[in-house]
Chains A and B, each alone.
Chain A
Amino acid sequence: NAGVTQTPKFRILKIGQSMTLQCTQDMNHNYMYWYRQDPGMGLKLIYYSVGAGITDKGEVPNGYNVSRSTTEDFPLRLELAAPSQTSVYFCASTLYPGNTIYFGEGSWLTVV
């Protein structure tokens, strides 16, 4: 079973560049999330979506954008990359509230 798939796994960006982290799930989940993980800080919610066409900001949305044109896909866009965006990014999804939230394997991003 594929579950939640993120690409790329590793990426180095230069300051000011833009890129998109891809996330797709094959479980027909309505709820999808993007988190970033920094050492000693746990996971912080960037953006989330409760269904196709619906997105909303989390705790740390600045510098990021998302879209949800289909149930399966939830890409995260970084515009004008900054060193502060160096982090590990996790995409996650769940079918309905209270159910298990499934995580992708993470995307390691370095901005230099």
Chain B
Amino acid sequence: AQSVTQLGSHVSVSEGALVLLRCNYSSSVPPYLFWYVQYPNQGLQLLLKYTTGATLVKGINGFEAEFKKSETSFHLTKPSAHMSDAAEYFCAVSDLGVVRSGSNYKLTFGKGTLLTVNP
């Protein structure tokens, strides 16, 4: 079974500071990994994803994440936080091993990390 652990339910940074949101996963097969962002009272929006290939993935709004197989991690970073980055962020994993025609492809989400940005 796959699982996701997000370290820190709440992260607070100053505007202009580095953003680091941590995500560790458990999967018996090579995973697909995702970061989603949720603004208040809205649905989830994809920030970035890793499926295969380059382990450093760039997403929207200046975010990036690096897949580290040896550490089973997929941490999200942004060099300089903006006030508009304040939101809840979710890491998600799906087992590549079950990805085939007719398979039960689905995502398992972490519990989320609320990011606040202080002026």
Contacts and interface: CB of A to CB of B under 8 A. Distances in A.
Interface stretch (A12-20, A63-71, A77-85, A101-109): A101-109
A31 B105 contact: yes
Interface residues of B, number: 28
Nearest to B94: A97
Interface in B7-55: 9, 32, 34, 36, 41-46, 49, 51
Contacts of A90: 43-44
B9 A40 contact: yes
Interface residues of A, number: 26
Contacts of A41: 111
26 contacts: A31-B106, A35-B109, A40-B111, A41-B111, A42-B111, A42-B112, A43-B90, A44-B109, A48-B104, A50-B103, A50-B105, A56-B104, A58-B106, A90-B44, A97-B32, A98-B49, A98-B51, A98-B99, A100-B46, A101-B107, A103-B36, A103-B43, A103-B45, A105-B43, A106-B41, A106-B43
